[in-house]
Each structure stands twice: as C-alpha cells, then as structure tokens.
Amino acid sequence: MARKVLVLADVRDNSFRNVSFEAIAAGKKVANGGEVVSVVLGENVSGLTSELFYYGADRVITVENSSLKEYTPDAYSQALLQVIDAETPDAVFMGHTAVGKDLAPRIAMKKQSGLISDAIELEAVGEEVIFTRPIYSGKAFEKKVVTDGMILATIRPNNIPPLDKDESRTGEVKALDVEIKDLRTIIKEVVRKSTGGVDLSEAKIIVSGGRGVKSEEGFKKLYELADVLGAAVGASRGACDADYCDYALQIGQTGKVVTPDLYIALGISGAIQHVAGMSNSKCIVAVNKDPEASIFSIADYGIVGDLFEVLPLLIEEFKKEVV
Ligand code: FAD
C-alpha cells in the first residue's frame, strides 16, 4: 500500500538536526512507493531545503513566518495543522526531540489521532505499520500495530539510520502561507546552554561523569577527553545535584535519552534511573573504583580503578590514535 508521509524537519541554528534525515528514512519505509514530503517551519529557511532531498525527501514544503523563528507550541501546532489539512497525509513523523515531544501530542489531540511516541524501529506489512518502542525505562520493548487513521509518530534520534546522502537528488519546493493568530507565548530571547559543542542527544560518542568525578574541576578533565574524541559531555543526576555541571547535561529517566555508538561512564554507579537514559548505547565503557558497581552489569568493557588515574591514560592513548 502506497502512503503519503509528512516528515517535520528539525531546524536548529540554521541547519537540520540529524533526526530530520532519520525521520525521512523512517518515512520511506512506510511510504512503500508513495511520497515522503518534508516540512520545514521557520524564518528564512527556504535556502536550507536541498539537504532534505539528498537524504530522500521527494517534495519539500516550507512555511516561513516570523512567529516560527523559535519553537512555540501555539505557532508550530497552528502551522503544522494547516500543512496537514492541505496535504491530508497518511502518516506524520517527527523527531522525538524536545520539539517533537511537545508538538506531537497537540497534533494528536487536534486531529483526534493516536500517537506512537519514541519509536526506535518500524516496518510496513500490507495495511499495517508496526512500530517498536521502549517501555519501563528501556527495560522492555513493545510492538504497536497501526492499521487505520492518520499515523502519527515521533522517532527516537540515533536509531533509524538515514539513507545514504545522494547529492544528485532534487525536487519541488513549495512555500505555503499559513495564518498564525492568537499566540499566547512570545519568545523574547533564547539563551542556549552549552554541552561542549556537540549536541548531546545526537552525539556519536559521549563522555559522561558522575558523583565520582567529585568537583567542577574534575569535569574539566572530561571535557579534555571529549575534545580528543569529538564527543559530547554528559552527566548523571548525582553530578548535576552536586553542582559539578549543568542540568542540561543530565542523562537518564528525567534527563536526556541518548543512544551513542560509544558511552564512557566515569564515576557513575549505574542507578536504574541513569541506565534508563543510556542503556541502548552501542558500546558502554565504565570506569569505577567499586568492582560491585551496577554499571558494570551493563558495560561492554569495565575498568575497575580510580578515574583520576584512568582518565589521563585514556586521553594520552586516544591522542595517539587521533593524531
Ligand atoms: P553515585 O550513586 O553516588 O555513584 C558514584 C560512583 O562513583 C560510585 O559507584 C563510586 O564507586 C564511584 N566513584 C567514586 N569515586 C571514584 C573514583 N575516584 N574513581 C572511579 N569511581 C569513583 N539519575 C540520573 O543519572 N539521571 C536521571 O535522569 C535520574 N532521574 C531520577 C528520577 C527519580 C524519580 C529519582 C528518584 C532518581 C533519579 N536519578 C537520576 C538519581 C539516581 O537514582 C542516582 O541517585 C544517580 O544516578 C546517582 O548518580 P551517580 O551514579 O553519579 O552517583
């Protein structure tokens, strides 16, 4: 069965977050010979669209409006709903990002559709689309089968690989005018917090510190390793609560959910609430001086030792590899 799939692109600092391309790949899986239409909401975004074609979009719709410069639930939901009404898609996908998590339920409510949130895999089998999503903080996975109505889903970053980039692809770009009114929120200023240059939720490598790092000064060493590896720095809530780093770095049940290729946990005990945010990392390396620390039960490689002795050695060795 051929479907029309609308995919919301996630724009940040004038470029697309990777999850935009991953969601296009997800869209391709269910389009089944139909079309994948990327939607870009924002201000001055029309110059960005070619990358969406490179990664598989068949068509692009841009909606430019000064109210869409930064995300607000009101403006984005009004704009996306008008695109949905104009296109009447069979499915709408977006990233399971801060924007997607906030926006998708609003769209579901307005369109009276269901919502598959945080999908990590999906397949189309005849009339059915089967989604896989984690439950119980990642301890188990469930399959959800959608058979009719508009399919609405958020796609977890770093799980569905994007299609190979093909710079010869191009397509039609259409600018759509929408009416945005009665806004209850106006963004006056955006102050961004830094997580070391690399976006934590999309990072391929994360160097993460816990209470065992012991101080803000100790975290500086983590940044040194992260610099060598081109990694982002993350943290446990223990480290955030102790004021060693900002809460923007927190990974876990009440922090960010990450799925990097490599997760290096330093001085983190492995509490269930932390593991909920990182257990799907492809390779986990744990450094802890307590051989009984529960982080070792999920680690692929474990180093029992003092992180302040291990960290300089890792920095030194990785420097040799990178140079
Ligand atoms: P600790 O448990 O204190 O562990 C520190 C570790 O460092 C120990 O294993 C110790 O052996 C090791 N260590 C100490 N010194 C060294 C050294 N020199 N070298 C090597 N190792 C050393 N936590 C999160 O992380 N994310 C969440 O999203 C989150 N959400 C929560 C939600 C709720 C509702 C609740 C109740 C809790 C939540 N927590 C969360 C907190 C969680 O339960 C733990 O308290 C927290 O993860 C512990 O952080 P930690 O591992 O850094 O600290």
**Positions in the chain short of pLDDT 70:** 193-197, 322-323
Cα of 311 from ligand 1 centre, angstroms = 18
Ligand 1 pocket member 62 (CB < 6 A): no
Quick one: which H or E segment has residue 95? strand 91-95
Q: In what order do the strands lie in the sheet with 116-119?
A: 116-119, 151-155, 91-95, 4-8, 35-42, 59-64, 172-175
pLDDT of residue 193: 66
Task: Say if residues 180 and 75 touch (Cβ distance below 8 Å).
Answer: yes
Q: Known binder of ligand: residue 270?
A: yes
Please give the pLDDT value at position 3. 96
Which residues, 6 or more positions from 189, have their beta carbon under 8 angstroms from its beta carbon? none
Q: Is the pTM of this model over 0.90?
A: no
Is the beta carbon of 240 within 6 A of some atom in ligand 1? no
Quick count: other Cβ atoms within 10 Å of Cβ 309?
11
Instruction: Determine if residue 251 is labeled as part of a ligand binding site.
Output: yes
What is the predicted pLDDT for the residue at 197? 66
Q: Which residue has the tokens 């979009």?
A: 57
Identify which of 17, 41, 25, 22 has the alpha carbon closest to the alpha carbon of residue 156.
22
Asked whether 56 lines ligand 1 (CB < 6 A), one says no
301 CA to centre of ligand 1 in angstroms? 19
Comparing C-alpha atoms, which of 216, 323, 224, 292 is closest to residue 264? 224
Q: State the pLDDT at residue 196.
A: 55
Dihedral through CA 195, CA 198, CA 203, CA 206, nearest 10? -50
